[in-house]
Amino acid sequence: MVALSLSLMFPLAACTTTRATAFALPMERATECRQLCEQIDMKLGAVVIIMNSAGCVCEPKPAEGTGAAVSGGATAAGGALIRALANANTEESRRQQEERSRRESSSGSSPSPHH
């Protein structure tokens, strides 16, 4: 019965999405990103927000006399990098939780020397 209940809950959990960030995103992030890109003689292409991280995507400035836009590949790459880091952090947290659970279960199942 418990297995049936759990199997019915997991599909519902898989359909939920979380907010892009749990924190307020101040306008200063865009200003900071713009300034960082300018420092390396580039222009701000995008501010990428994934989970609780914000990142800047800088793109090369168009050549003088042209208005040609650079493709959004840099934006996609920046987003993919933030997502990969988030996945790595999630995996590490999961591994640490499993290790803690193993330690707790092995210490809880060993006989007490005081008996």
Interval 8-38: pLDDT, tens: 444 455 566 666 666 777 888 889 999 999 9
Structural domain contains residue 52: yes
Q: How many domains does the chain have?
A: 1
Structural domain contains residue 36: yes
Structural domain contains residue 95: yes
Q: Give residue 3's pLDDT band: very low, low, confident or very high (50, 70, 90).
A: low
Interval 53-107: pLDDT, tens: 888 999 998 877 665 555 566 666 766 777 777 777 777 788 888 888 888 888 7
Structural domain contains residue 2: no
* Helix (H), strand (E), coil (C) string for 10-75: HHHHHCCCCCCCCCCCCCHHHHHHHHHHHHCCEEEEEEEEECCEEEEEEEECCCCCCCCCCCCHHH
Say how many CA atoms lie within 13 Å of 39 toward its Cβ. 7
Structural domain contains residue 40: yes
Q: Using alpha carbons, select from 73, 78, 38 the residue that is nearest to residue 55.
A: 78
Structural domain contains residue 102: yes
Domain encompassing residue 38? 19-62+70-106
